[in-house]
């Protein structure tokens, strides 16, 4: 876990979007503190819930307002975003935050499996170590559920072409790179900030 503590208000986010959120925060909201939880906690939702609740409790006790940048990542997320002083960005997951709800829904209906920068570089750990899949059952499962892989290129760092090629071969699916500007993510965070500043969730 990592944090940058600067101000009365905090951004708390999954590390899967750390590079993107850090860039946006430095540009638009430099006064906000930032705290990032490891993305691999998603593989253990109960652990994610426990740790995130502890972090929120600690920040709220210090009087910090919180913009929570998470999707529907654990069972207690709804209760956490209902805490006074906490506002969560609107989106089921990080891919929806990047694409916007309409485009995310359209591509999901087409059977797209999304890869975002941090997890694209760690895809083998996710598939093999965390999900327990080998090449055969991964290909069978992925081809049954998805039509293609899509890497959401947020423009931060080079496209991991080698990793994407290996992942596509492993899954037996084509892979497409889609340029994905940060405007949707910025808008979602800005909307949450506006709600926090207006005191819509402070009672």
| 97 and 181 Cβ atoms separated by less than 8 Å | no
Give me the number of domains the chain comprises. Answer: 2
pLDDT on residue 202? 56
Question: Which of 16, 68, 69 is closest to 43 using CA atoms?
Answer: 16
**Same-domain check for residues 85 and 164:** no
| pLDDT exceeds cutoff 60 at 6 | no
70 half-sphere exposure, CB direction, 13 A CA radius: 31
- Kindly state whether residue 136 falls inside one of the protein's structural domains: yes
pLDDT on residue 40? 87
Mean pLDDT confidence for 179-195: 97
pLDDT on residue 166? 94
**Dist. CA 75–CA 93, nearest whole Å:** 13
**Same-domain check for residues 101 and 75:** no
What angle, 0 to 180 degrees and rounded to 10, lies between the N-to-C axes of helices 18-28 and 183-198?
60
Task: For residue 10, give the CATH number of its domain.
Answer: 3.40.50
- Kindly state whether residue 120 falls inside one of the protein's structural domains: yes
**Same-domain check for residues 84 and 124:** no
**Same-domain check for residues 130 and 51:** no
| pLDDT exceeds cutoff 60 at 1 | no
Range of the domain at 81: 2-90+182-198
**Same-domain check for residues 172 and 157:** yes
Coil/strand/helix, residue 192:
helix
Furthest CA-CA distance within the chain: 52
- Kindly state whether residue 60 falls inside one of the protein's structural domains: yes
Place of tokens 């993107």: 20
**Same-domain check for residues 135 and 151:** yes
| pLDDT exceeds cutoff 50 at 143 | yes
**Same-domain check for residues 128 and 157:** yes
- Kindly state whether residue 203 falls inside one of the protein's structural domains: no
**Same-domain check for residues 67 and 122:** no
Instruction: Tell me the pLDDT tens digit for each residue of 21-80.
Output: 999 999 999 999 999 999 989 888 899 999 999 999 999 999 999 999 999 998 899 999
**Dist. CA 90–CA 188, nearest whole Å:** 7
pLDDT on residue 101? 96
**Same-domain check for residues 13 and 62:** yes
pLDDT on residue 79? 95
Mean pLDDT confidence for 86-90: 95
Instruction: Tell me the pLDDT tens digit for each residue of 97-106.
Output: 999 999 999 9
- Kindly state whether residue 29 falls inside one of the protein's structural domains: yes
| pLDDT exceeds cutoff 50 at 4 | no
**Same-domain check for residues 102 and 139:** yes
**Same-domain check for residues 84 and 105:** no
- Kindly state whether residue 137 falls inside one of the protein's structural domains: yes
Question: Residue 87 has what DSSP assignment?
Answer: E
- Kindly state whether residue 192 falls inside one of the protein's structural domains: yes
CA-based radius of gyration for the chain: 17
pLDDT on residue 130? 72
**Same-domain check for residues 10 and 84:** yes
């Amino acid at each position: 876990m990592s944090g940058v503590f600067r101000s009365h208000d905090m951004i708390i986010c999954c590390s899967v979007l750390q590079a993107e959120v850090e860039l946006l925060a430095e540009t638009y909201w430099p006064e906000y503190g930032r705290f990032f939880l490891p993305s691999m906690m998603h593989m253990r939702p109960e652990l994610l819930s426990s740790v995130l609740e502890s972090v929120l409790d600690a920040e709220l006790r210090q009087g910090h307002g919180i913009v929570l940048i998470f999707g529907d990542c654990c069972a207690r997320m709804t209760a956490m975003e209902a805490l006074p002083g906490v506002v969560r960005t609107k989106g089921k997951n990080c891919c929806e935050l990047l694409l916007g709800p309409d485009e995310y829904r359209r591509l999901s209906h087409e059977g797209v499996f999304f890869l975002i920068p941090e997890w694209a570089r760690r895809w083998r750990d996710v598939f093999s170590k965390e999900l327990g899949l080998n090449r055969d059952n991964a290909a069978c499962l992925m081809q049954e559920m998805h039509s293609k892989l899509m890497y959401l290129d947020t423009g931060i760092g080079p496209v991991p072409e080698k990793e994407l090629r290996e992942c596509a071969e492993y899954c037996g699916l084509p892979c497409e790179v889609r340029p994905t500007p940060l405007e949707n993510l910025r808008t979602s965070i800005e909307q949450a900030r506006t709600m926090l500043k207006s005191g819509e969730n402070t009672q």
